[in-house]
Amino acid sequence: MKRWMQHTWVKIIAVALSLSLIAAAVALVLTGTTEPLRGVGETVSRPFSRFFSLVTDKLRQGGDYLKGVQALQEENRALEQEVAQLRRAARAGDLATEENARLRSLLELQETGQDLTFTAAWVVARAPDNWKGEVTLDQGTDQGIQAGQCVVDEHGALVGRVKEVGASWANVTLLWDPGFQMAGQGTKSGVLGSLEGSLDLLSRGELALACLTEADPVSLGEEVVTFAAQGVYPSGLVVGTVMSLEEDPGGLTRSAILTPAADLNTLSQVFVVTAFWEER
Amino acid sequence: MGRLRLYLITALAFLLEVLVLLWFPVAGVRPRVLPPLVCLVGVEQGPDRGAECGFFGGILCYLAGATPWQMALLALLGGLSGVIFHKASSFWGKWLTCLAALAGLEVLLVLGHCLAGASVFAGLRIAGPELLLSAACFPLAVLLTRLKGHPRRKRKGW
């Protein structure tokens, strides 16, 4: 045993293991805040990450152009925007809103509404790990970003939440990361559940609306949005669409498997909800 | 291989992985060139250099946002590759030994996530493609270690 310990490579591995344990313990203690070493690393690497993300973005665009899909992508984008607008209009329900307003005025109730403030940010890096779903943005506390804030794409679909933040960068946990968790609600059935990522769903690019009972009337194709009872984050942000229903291992509850509305594989520019006002 | 050259090659592999390869996923999994490089250094240069290369690469990955266990895992990969597979001499022999070492790493990762509550099949669904893609990046790792065109130095006995 003593002879083994004298080898240099054993000492290196022992040091590496000790540092890993210390770093893991620090990460547990400093949840939501920046670990000092990683903060320095992110700050130093951000300009290079931004440059290379622009380059790879351009390369990807160039490749797509050569394949002749550029025009198709633009048309698709336009159609996606139109669909998003139509869905927003449907959700808002102009007629229902007017009727609601009339009834509220009759009952002398206050008006409801929501106002969101966004900060635009570019995705400059992804976590160098296939076992997590995280990205790094090029904006941080200097631009008003804080841990726990929601991040959406250009259509307003939820992308994830800010996990940790530095002065000029922020790490975002994507929807399908095993550590992701939020409350969600079906738009049609009104069912409440827990939006969760998992390792199993990470490989499939999906997430789950968990803790549903057999009696909950969730249907396939139903849209799911965020729900916040105490205003910790904004409600009504589109999360995804129910693709299937699965029984949980215990058999007492079931989960609705969702396909995210945002395309998390090709993120380039996102928007952080830095402030919101809503009244119900 | 001198220490400075080792660190430069490791940093170059890390930059290639983080700034280029991560943006081009294959079947939802991103290729990694650092683990096969660490294996190769361990097999060619011995366990000391392999562990050093893995430790340095793990530090860079941790600073870039990976879990802190990357430091220990990559150092272990480099060290054990040099101890167990030091007899590989041909290109294909080194490729096979790297594949075996990377398979061991993926088994450790799957076990770690199983202990955290994930199912084995969920882990295998990520570990399988990751192993194949890392093995496919082995020629790239060989290219990085041959950058200056100098022939490989004879590995010193350990």
The residue of A26, A130, A162 whose CB has the most chain B CBs within 10 angstroms, and thus the best one to mutate to test that interface, is A130
Mean pLDDT over A59-68 rounds to 71
Interface contact B51, partner A, CB < 8 A:
yes
Per-residue pLDDT, B150:
47
Per-residue pLDDT, B158:
40
What pLDDT band is residue A239 in, cutting at 50, 70 and 90? very high
Per-residue pLDDT, A216:
83
Among candidates B17, B68, B126 on the partner chain, residue whose Cβ is nearest the Cβ of A20:
B68
**What is the b/e burial string over A126-155, where b = at least 16 CB atoms within 10 angstroms of the residue's CB?**
bbbbbbbbbbbbbbbeebebebebbbbbeb
Instruction: Decide which of A278 and A192 is more confident.
Output: A192
Q: Let me know: does A238 contact A157? Beta carbons within 8 Å.
A: yes
CATH of the domain spanning B3-145: 1.10.1760.20
Per-residue pLDDT, B74:
92
Percent of chain A's residues with pLDDT above 70: 80
**What is the ipTM, given to two decimal places?**
0.76
* Domain residue ranges in chain B: 3-145
Whether residue B23 and residue A265 make contact (CB cut-off 8 A), yes or no, is no
Whether residue B68 and residue A203 make contact (CB cut-off 8 A), yes or no, is no
**pTM across the whole model:** 0.74
> How many angstroms separate the first and last alpha carbons of chain A?
68
Per-residue pLDDT, B1:
65
Percent of chain A's residues with pLDDT above 90: 24
d(CA B16, CA A160): 26
Q: Is residue A129 over pLDDT 70?
A: yes
Instruction: Decide which of A129 and A95 is more confident.
Output: A129
The 10s digit of each residue's pLDDT in A144-189 is: 999 999 999 988 899 999 998 888 889 999 998 988 999 999 988 8
Interface contact A20, partner B, CB < 8 A:
yes
Mean pLDDT over A108-122 rounds to 73
Which residues in chain A (63-122) have CB-CB distances under 8 A to chain B?
none
Residues of chain B with pLDDT under 50: 149-151, 157-158
Interface contact B108, partner A, CB < 8 A:
no
Interface contact B70, partner A, CB < 8 A:
yes
Q: Compute chain B's Rg from CA coordinates.
A: 15
Whether residue B121 and residue A200 make contact (CB cut-off 8 A), yes or no, is yes
Per-residue pLDDT, B20:
81
Per-residue pLDDT, A279:
63
Token representation of residue B4: 């400075």
Residues of chain B in contact with residue A53, where contact means CB-CB under 8 angstroms, are 19, 23
